[in-house]
Structure 1
Amino acid sequence: MRLILLLLTYLSSLSYAHSSAPVVSWITLDFPPYYIYADRDEGEGRDEQLISLLHAQLPHLAFQRQGFPASRAIHELSHSDSGYCMVSLYKTAQRKKHITYTKHYATIGLSPGLALRKETVQKLGLDIHQAVSLVDLMLKHQLTLGVAQSRSYGEKLDLLIARLPPDQVVVRPGWDTLQSLTNMLIKKRVDLVLGYPSEHYYLSKRLGSDDLLQVSLAGVPLVAKGYIGCTKNADGKQAVTVFDETLAQLVTTDEYRRIMLKWLPDHLRRKLNRHLTTDIRLLSNEVPTTKEQK
């Protein structure tokens, strides 16, 4: 009888733990190719696929998705009473005041690069497989650069852009700024557009242009890593702990690799794939063997 009572108590505690687990509310944005709301590739965004992959490993953790305009996302994440989580965030000192982050990265992609027309590549004799100097391109060849207003490209690039001749930099405000700049590039109103490689690739496909190429920039880190951030409350901290336990293994899977590589042209896909392979090898060496675990 005592054994039965103990078993009932144990099952009851499991049921309570399950029912008390927080529902994760993911903030999503209409921001392809990270989230794709309405297109032939709807649902194929990198970050939304990562969320699905993460919860496939955490079937006990209920979740929902909440769409916000990009301008409101960080504010809601930082100040919500109920709490939210978001994929692929940079860690900054200001954000850490209101957001709790995973220790392990959740997304990895190539750092910002340049989109340019094929004729520009041919005219300047550029090799798209080699990183180029933004300053050299701008100053030696008097090219114009398109950038999105109020967007950070990382500390080094932000400082570099601020020092470029103002008459050679076109700053575009408003919605869909990168798409607008890409249209300007196609129409030869700018020579270069700064953005993340996956964004350039997605937009060239969406706009049906086969006249655009991408090059990497010299002097910036090869990759950019994004983390999961949750509202800084009890539920958010609990969710982050669970995610950290799963991410270390998740990023070594073939499905994770497929998601991270999906929105890249071939020559940049190979570059990121080499980095992913190295990362996986390092992580695998950190995982203890069965004997060590015992």
Structure 2
Amino acid sequence: MSKFVIGLLIGILAIMPSLAMAKKPLKVQMMTDFASQENDDPFNIATQFLLDIEKQLNGIIALNFIPASRLREWQQLHAMKDVCLYNKVKTPDRLENALFSTSPIMAFPANRLVVYKHPELPENISLNDAVNKYNLTIGIASGRSYGHEIDNYITKHPKSFMSLGGTTGAYRLSQMLFQNKFDAVIEYRSVFTSRHGTDPSTENIRYLSLDDTNQTVFGYIACSQSEQGKQVIALFDQALQTPEIQKIIISSHTKIFAPPEQALILHALQDAFNVAIPAR
């Protein structure tokens, strides 16, 4: 065998490990407060979007879903370099502690004050009136952001809110509402109705609009502030700018929301993606 051939073989063997490394996907630990492989419903549709994104990126990333409470998932994001969270609201505090995707993966109408057997309350209410005028005790999920305005009020008046944590915290909050253990919870109407749509107790549920809140709330991907976090966020943004992923997200939202909330959400996504919503 000639020296040239031997040298060529040695050169190929030398670069093979680097080629293998180049093809190795970035492993991303996706913290989640619900199971990722359940049927496709509004509870985990954001998880399905992530699986669609993983497929769109064609092996560049590998997602590993890990159950965690809302509090623990943020702790893991700060402690590790390869953690991402999803369907998270951007707030000033969070923007200082995590890298967020430019585009959202979910959109929701504003949070509602969900009340059980309170016919005396008006259809529109402020948190200040709910707490001080009507003396309501309100259940909230610890570690969750309800948007900047609501979060600020909760921080300033913690004794008026009952906080519950854990991966099943949101579901237990609504069960406790039905048991009259407090007067109201803060939740998206679509999420609450999906969770308890067949429960006869919902006949006595009302969804009150909260004053001074944004009409639409977006959920984004958030990753660790690390070099890998930067790479992963850039890849998520790349996928979220593709027509294929945007079409999947927009189409799925039309199945979740009914008019008039549907039109509000579609226009919000249209603005977020800077695309036109196809006529249907």
TM-score range, shorter chain: 0.7 to 0.9
1:77 corresponding residue in structure 2: 77
1:193 corresponding residue in structure 2: 185
Give the superposition deviation at 1:206. 7.1
How many correspondences in the alignment?
261
2:228 corresponding residue in structure 1: 235
> Is the CA contact (8 Å cut-off) linking 1:250 and 1:256 kept in structure 2?
no
2:114 corresponding residue in structure 1: 115
SS of 1:120's equivalent?
Answer: coil
2:164 corresponding residue in structure 1: 173
Could you list the per-position Cα deviations for residues 202-248 of structure 1 after superposition, in whole angstroms to 9, with x for gaps in the alignment? Answer: 33237564322323322111122233223333333222222222212
Q: CA RMSD in A?
A: 3.8
1:59 and 2:52 matched: no
Letter paired with 1:173: L
Letter paired with 2:208: V
1:37-186 equivalent positions in 2, closer than 5 A: 45-70=44-69, 71-81=71-81, 83-91=82-90, 95=94, 99-117=98-116, 119-121=117-119, 123-124=120-121, 126=123, 131-149=124-142, 151-161=144-154, 166=159, 169-175=160-166, 176-186=168-178
CA distance in structure 2 between the partners assigned to 1:43 and 1:133 by the alignment: 27
Could you list the per-position Cα deviations for residues 138-189 of structure 1 after superposition, in whole angstroms to 9, with x for gaps in the alignment? Answer: 44444443333454423321333455694xx341434333323312322334
Q: Any stretches of 5+ residues in structure 1 without a counterpart?
A: 286-294
Cα separation, partners in 2 of 1:17 and 1:108, compared to 1, 3 Å: farther
CA distance in structure 2 between the partners assigned to 1:97 and 1:164 by the alignment: 24
Letter paired with 1:50: F
Cα separation, partners in 2 of 1:272 and 1:178, compared to 1, 3 Å: same
CA distance in structure 2 between the partners assigned to 1:94 and 1:196 by the alignment: 22
Give the superposition deviation at 1:51. 0.4
> Is the CA contact (8 Å cut-off) linking 2:112 and 2:187 kept in structure 1?
yes
Give me the TM-score of the superposition, normalised by structure 2: 0.72
> Is the CA contact (8 Å cut-off) linking 1:27 and 1:67 kept in structure 2?
yes
CA distance in structure 1 between the partners assigned to 2:92 and 2:250 by the alignment: 30
Q: Any stretches of 5+ residues in structure 2 without a counterpart?
A: 1-7
Of 28, 49, 52, 1:25 maps to 28
Give the superposition deviation at 1:279. 4.4
Letter paired with 1:61: I
Give the superposition deviation at 1:67. 0.8
1:291 corresponding residue in structure 2: none
> Is the CA contact (8 Å cut-off) linking 1:114 and 1:217 kept in structure 2?
yes
SS of 1:194's equivalent?
Answer: strand
Give me the TM-score of the superposition, normalised by structure 1: 0.69
CA distance in structure 2 between the partners assigned to 1:172 and 1:277 by the alignment: 35
Of 239, 247, 251, 2:240 maps to 247
CA distance in structure 2 between the partners assigned to 1:269 and 1:261 by the alignment: 6
Identity %: 21
